């Protein structure tokens, strides 16, 4: 340890007084301790008080023995005004007669002056560093609160990071702030996401890494690896920062800190803050900045959660409003847009047109080509419609083979021009799996306000017009009133239906299903009939579609379920345990509280879910996939067995079915009936059975009219058959008798 200050100059005769005066002046003007001490030693030697002088401070550690080289040495204690020993002033000389008592008295006074000088400088330093520290903590706090305002405002992750860096530099006065994300590449690189402040060249080129290698011992590397804040207080002396020293000092960097960013318990990166003050990042400042980094982590995390929610919502929305096969908006979306367009048209006093495009003979095409090719054809057709240079507001797919086009602002003439363009777009044959298919369409037009002033009226009337176009082979038809007359008849019939349901005119019929292995009846399907007071018994095909469109279907279904439970109850009283399968429409699934209502009905009849089963068509499942799925899941959880009805006529794929909560698939009767004559239909039935079995579901074949069909179905391992060969639909209250008679001949089916 070297003396704090010393001088070895030849002594002249003692001029203690002179030295004391000069020393006092030095103390008065001193601003730096080391300089002051050196100057005092110089003054003592220079004034000829002694030949050697040095000052040792307690704060510098133990004092080495240097006095031995001298003939005479006097050590004067340096005592602070509060009595604390600060060190010693040693005077040495080779002349044994040096330092007489009078001189010593003056020198003791001098030592006192020096001591109070040292003490004053110490206290000033303490004050300054305290103030400095307060300033640093204060700016950290300012940064934190500005940072929190940023958190609240930002909606995108990249924006948040950039803003946070800006706040740290602009509000906090730090030299540089940057955020790097840990990459999981081979180099474990740290990818700079945002930065603010002065950096020469890009941070990217500094090639930071968080690998546990020599290159990874930097603050960002350490913070990411350890998941803890990491500080290097002095770039100028820190050996770890040697590679960055020269550049850093040039740019005015003095201290650097790195804070981990932790999202979902994983360190995703770090926030780096560089300060220009050597004593930055004291404990308090560090605590505040750590909090800032934690807040930033929280901000990133909540933005990510929000982004995930947004994506999920978009997906659900897409599923609910978009037809999966063609990617076009579906019926629900069309309705919604149509309603808005009508409102707009009304305000602007403008017309609008709704076109309904029906693909002619699509069912035939589907049967000949198979439903897969049918799907492909529909997708191609949708592509042609949307590819036209006319700019309609919306093309939607609203049924298996029905498209709708909404034309805001269009009058009759413009609507017809557009309709012709759509018809022409189908002129060229389609190519589906090597086959050329000619497709024609019938297009109906309904206009606002002439044909209707609400969405329902327009949809119904453009649909009626399309029907007219088809029936009269017109290609294109604008809604006319004679179709309205038909409609009015239907409307009165429907008014009748409302009353019919209330007045118990519905009749429950049922049709048995037989297990193909045993030949035994394993269940019955509930089929409704309407005993109209003047028209007689009406088949469901004439009133169900209308009931579905008007919402009457909910009351109707409720009636059927109730009647079915009543029927089951009476069978059970007679010892017959036979599940009844009830048909549900798409709209039934949209009815709120359907599940609760079912539970209530079960309670009423003291029934269990095994009494009832439910059949749903593919299109019912596709209408509102998200909502329907939820209802079906709850029904299946309750214990109801669920069937997909009319399979093959809709447009769902088996892979889609696989995701649905269903137990069995009913192959549509059109395929089964066609099986004998049409090899394609036979192939469809066979491959459907195989695939349905492969996904672990049961197969029911509808339309089993003859023994020939029964036998073919048996060789294909169909599980259950339904159709005239087993029995035609019968009044439900006649089933028990029929079943008893048939019982003996159950095996005769084979």
> Where do contacts with Ca ion occur on this chain (CB under 5 A)?
583, 615, 645-646, 702
Nearest distance from C-beta of residue 727 to ligand C2E, angstroms: 8
Nearer to ligand C2E, 255 or 709 (CB): 709
Q: HEC states along 262-307?
A: EECCEEEEEEEEEECCCCCCCHHHHHHHHHHHHHHHHHHHHHHHHH
Q: How far is the CB of 729 from ligand C2E (least distance, A)?
A: 5
Q: What are phi and psi of 606, to 5 degrees?
A: 60, 35
- Interaction pattern, residues 96-135, with ligand C2E; x per rule: CB under 6 A: ----------------------------------------
Rounded (10°) CA dihedral 224, 229, 233, 235? 20
* Single residue of 415, 528, 538, 657 touching ligand C2E by CB under 6 A: 528
Spatial CA neighbour of 379 closest among 391, 389, 371: 371
Q: Which residue's structure tokens are 């309705």?
A: 335
Stretch that binds ligand C2E, among 166-174, 193-201, 326-334, 697-705 (CB under 6 A): 697-705
By rule CB under 6 A, what string of x and - marks binding of each residue 535-574 to ligand C2E? Answer: ----xxx--x------------x--x--------------
Q: How many other CB atoms sit within 10 Å of the CB of residue 223?
A: 28
Does residue number 669 form part of the binding site for ligand C2E (CB under 6 A)?
yes
Nearer to Ca ion, 99 or 651 (CB): 651
User: Of ligand C2E, Ca ion, none, which one does residue 560 interact with (CB within 5 to 8 Å by kind)?
Assistant: ligand C2E
Minimum CB–partner distance for residue 540 and ligand C2E (Å): 3
For the CB of residue 615, give the shortest distance to Ca ion in the complex, in Å.
Answer: 4
Distance set, CA 127 to CA 81, 133, 139 (Å): 18, 10, 18
Residue ranges with strand state E in 121-225: 176-182, 190-197
Q: Does 646 bind ligand C2E (CB under 6 A)?
A: yes
Q: Which of 412, 593, 615, 415 is CA-nearest to residue 510?
A: 615
> Are the CB atoms for 425 and 441 separated by under 8 Å?
no
Q: Give the residue with the Cβ less far from ligand C2E, 271 or 675.
A: 675
**Cβ-based nearer residue to Ca ion, 483 or 583:** 583
Binder among 729, 732, 735, 749 for ligand C2E (CB under 6 A):
729
Distance CA 303, CA 157 (A): 6
Quick one: which H or E segment has residue 529? strand 521-532
**Least separation, in Å, of the C-beta of 622 and ligand C2E?**
16
Of residues 70 through 99, those in contact with ligand C2E by CB under 6 A are none
Structure tokens at 513: 């299903």
- Please identify which residue in 88, 483, 554, 585 interacts with ligand C2E, judged by CB under 6 A: 585
723 binds, among ligand C2E, Ca ion, none (CB under 5 to 8 A by kind): ligand C2E
Taking the complex as a whole, the smallest distance from the CB of residue 583 to ligand C2E amounts, in Å, to 4
For the CB of residue 618, give the shortest distance to ligand C2E in the complex, in Å.
Answer: 12
* Cβ-based neighbours of 555, under 8 Å, separated by 6 or more: 498, 501
What is d(CA 340, CA 320) in angstroms, rounded to the nearest whole number? 18
Cis previous bond, 449, omega within 30: yes
Shortest distance, position 568 Cβ to ligand C2E, whole Å: 15
Work out how close the CB of 702 gets to ligand C2E at its nearest, in angstroms, rounded to a whole number.
Answer: 6
x/- string (CB under 6 A) for ligand C2E, residues 456-495? ----------------------------------------
201 CB contacts (<8 Å, ≥6 apart)?
A: none
Of 503-522, which residues contact ligand C2E (CB under 6 A)? 511
| Residues paired with 267 in a beta bridge | 262
Question: Are β-strands 698-701 and 720-722 bridged in parallel, bridged antiparallel, or unpaired?
Answer: parallel
CB burial of residue 296 (10 Å; 0-12, 13-18, 19+): buried
- In the complex, minimum distance from the CB of residue 508 to ligand C2E, in angstroms, rounded to a whole number: 8
724 binds, among Ca ion, ligand C2E, none (CB under 5 to 8 A by kind): ligand C2E
Alpha-carbon span 372 to 432, nearest angstrom: 10
Instruction: Return the number of the residue (210 or 671) whose C-beta is nearest Ca ion.
Output: 671
Backbone dihedral region for residue 575 (phi beyond 0: left; psi -120 to 50: alpha; all else: beta): left
Number of residues that bind ligand C2E (CB under 6 A): 23
Which of Ca ion, ligand C2E, none lies near 585, with the C-beta cut-off 5 to 8 A by kind? ligand C2E
Q: What order do you get walking across the sheet with 176-182 strand by strand? A: 190-197, 176-182, 266-275, 255-263, 230-232
Would you say 447 or 514 has its CB closer to ligand C2E? 514
Window 703-722: residues binding ligand C2E (CB under 6 A): 703-705
Task: Label each residue of 559-603 as H, E or C.
Answer: HHHHHHHHHHHHHHHCCCCCCEEEEECHHHHHCCCHHHHHHHHHH
- For residue 399, the cross-strand partners are 402
Biggest alpha carbon–alpha carbon distance for the chain = 150
User: From the CB of 314, what's the least distance to Ca ion, in Å?
Assistant: 35
User: With CB under 6 A as the contact rule, which of the stretches 306-314, 424-432, 437-445, 523-531 interacts with ligand C2E?
Assistant: 523-531
Give the range of 233-241, 431-439, 723-731, 737-745 binding ligand C2E by CB under 6 A. Answer: 723-731
What is the phi/psi pair of residue 208, to 5°? -65, 145
Q: Name which of 26 and 613 has its Cβ closer to ligand C2E.
A: 613
When the beta carbons of 158 and 539 are compared against ligand C2E, the nearer one is 539
Are 257 and 281 within 8 A, CB to CB?
yes
Q: How far is the CB of 594 from ligand C2E (least distance, A)?
A: 13
Query: Which H or E run includes 121?
Result: helix 101-153
- What's the closest the beta carbon of residue 501 comes to Ca ion, in angstroms? 20
Which CB atom, from 342 or from 553, has the smaller least distance to ligand C2E?
Answer: 553
Q: Which stretch binds ligand C2E (CB under 6 A): 2-10, 338-346, 389-397, 696-704?
A: 696-704
Nearer to ligand C2E by C-beta: 142 or 558? 558
Q: How far is the CB of 616 from Ca ion (least distance, A)?
A: 9
CB of 733 to ligand C2E, least distance (A): 16
For residue 268, count other CB atoms closer than 10 A to its CB. 19
Assign residue 32 a region: left if phi > 0, alpha if psi is -120 to 50, beta otherwise?
beta
User: Interface with ligand C2E by CB under 6 A: which range of 69-77, 137-145, 515-523, 525-533?
Assistant: 525-533
Backbone angles phi, psi at 735, to 5 degrees: -65, -40
Q: What's the full length of the chain, in residues?
A: 750
- Contact positions toward ligand C2E, by CB under 6 A? 511, 526-528, 539-541, 544, 557, 560, 583, 585, 615, 645-646, 669, 702-705, 723-724, 729
């Amino acid at each position: 340890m070297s003396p704090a200050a010393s001088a070895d100059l030849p002594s002249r005769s003692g001029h203690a007084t002179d030295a004391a005066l000069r020393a006092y002046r030095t103390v008065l003007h001193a601003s730096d301790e080391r300089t002051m001490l050196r100057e005092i030693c110089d003054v003592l030697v220079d004034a000829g008080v002694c030949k050697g002088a040095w000052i040792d401070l307690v704060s510098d550690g133990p004092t080495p023995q240097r006095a031995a080289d001298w003939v005479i040495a006097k050590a004067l204690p340096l005592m602070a005004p509060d009595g604390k020993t600060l060190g010693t002033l040693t005077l040495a000389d080779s002349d044994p007669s040096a330092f007489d008592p009078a001189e010593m008295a003056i020198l003791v006074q001098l030592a006192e002056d020096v001591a109070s000088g040292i003490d004053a400088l110490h206290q000033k330093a303490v004050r300054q560093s305290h103030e400095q520290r307060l300033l640093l903590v204060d700016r950290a706090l300012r940064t934190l609160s500005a940072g929190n305002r940023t958190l609240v405002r930002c909606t995108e992750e990249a924006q948040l990071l950039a803003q946070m860096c800006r706040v740290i530099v602009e509000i906090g006065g730090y030299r540089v702030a940057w955020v790097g994300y840990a990459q999981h590449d081979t180099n474990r690189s740290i990818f700079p996401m945002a930065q603010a402040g002065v950096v020469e060249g890009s941070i990217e080129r500094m090639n930071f890494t968080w690998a546990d290698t020599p290159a990874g011992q930097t603050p960002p590397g350490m913070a990411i690896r350890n998941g803890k804040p990491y500080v290097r207080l002095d770039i100028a002396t820190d050996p770890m920062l040697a590679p960055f020293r020269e550049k850093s000092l040039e740019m005015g960097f003095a201290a650097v800190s790195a804070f981990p960013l932790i999202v979902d318990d994983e360190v995703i990166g770090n926030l780096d803050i560089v300060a220009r003050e050597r004593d930055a990042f004291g404990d308090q400042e560090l605590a505040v900045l750590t909090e800032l980094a934690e807040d930033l982590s929280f901000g990133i995390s909540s933005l990510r959660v929000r982004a995930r929610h947004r994506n999920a919502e978009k997906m659900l929305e897409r599923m609910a409003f978009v037809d999966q096969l063609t990617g076009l908006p579906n019926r629900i979306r069309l309705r919604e847009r149509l309603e808005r367009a009508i409102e707009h048209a009304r305000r602007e006093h403008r017309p609008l047109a709704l076109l309904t495009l029906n693909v002619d003979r699509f069912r035939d095409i589907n049967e000949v080509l198979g439903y897969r090719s049918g799907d492909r054809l529909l997708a191609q057709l949708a592509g042609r419609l949307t590819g036209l240079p006319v700019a309609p507001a919306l093309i939607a797919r609203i049924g298996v083979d029905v498209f709708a086009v909404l034309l805001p602002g269009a009058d009759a003439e413009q609507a017809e021009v557009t309709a012709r363009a759509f018809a022409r777009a189908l002129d060229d044959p389609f190519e589906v799996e090597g086959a050329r298919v000619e497709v024609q369409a019938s297009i109906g037009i309904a206009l606002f306000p002439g044909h209707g002033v609400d969405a329902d009226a327009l949809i119904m009337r453009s649909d009626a017009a399309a029907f007219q176009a088809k029936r009269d082979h017109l290609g294109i038809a604008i809604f006319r009133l004679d179709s309205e007359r038909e409609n009015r008849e239907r409307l009165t019939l429907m008014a009748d239906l409302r009353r019919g349901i209330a007045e118990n005119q519905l009749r429950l019929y049922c049709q048995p299903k037989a297990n193909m292995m045993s030949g035994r009846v394993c269940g019955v399907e509930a089929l409704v009939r309407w005993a109209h007071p003047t028209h007689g018994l009406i088949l469901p095909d004439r009133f169900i579609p209308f009931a579905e469109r008007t919402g009457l279907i909910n009351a109707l279904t409720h009636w059927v379920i109730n009647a079915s439970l009543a029927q089951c109850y009476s069978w059970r009283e007679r010892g017959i345990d036979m599940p009844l399968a009830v048909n549900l429409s798409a709209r039934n699934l949209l009815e709120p509280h359907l599940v609760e209502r079912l539970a209530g009905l079960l309670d009423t009849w003291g029934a269990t879910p095994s009494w009832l089963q439910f059949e749903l068509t593919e299109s019912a499942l596709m209408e509102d996939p998200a909502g329907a799925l939820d209802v079906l899941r709850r029904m299946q959880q309750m214990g109801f067995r669920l069937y997909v009805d009319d399979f093959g006529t809709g447009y769902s794929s088996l892979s889609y079915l696989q995701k649905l909560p269903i137990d069995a698939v009913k192959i549509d009767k059109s395929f089964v009936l066609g099986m004998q004559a049409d090899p394609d239909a036979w192939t469809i039935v066979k491959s459907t059975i195989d695939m349905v079995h492969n996904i672990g579901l049961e197969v029911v074949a509808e339309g089993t009219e003859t023994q020939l069909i029964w036998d073919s179905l048996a060789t294909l391992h169909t599980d259950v058959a339904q159709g005239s060969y087993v029995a035609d639909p019968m009044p439900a209250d006649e089933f028990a008798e029929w079943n008893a008679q048939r019982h003996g001949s159950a095996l005769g089916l084979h």
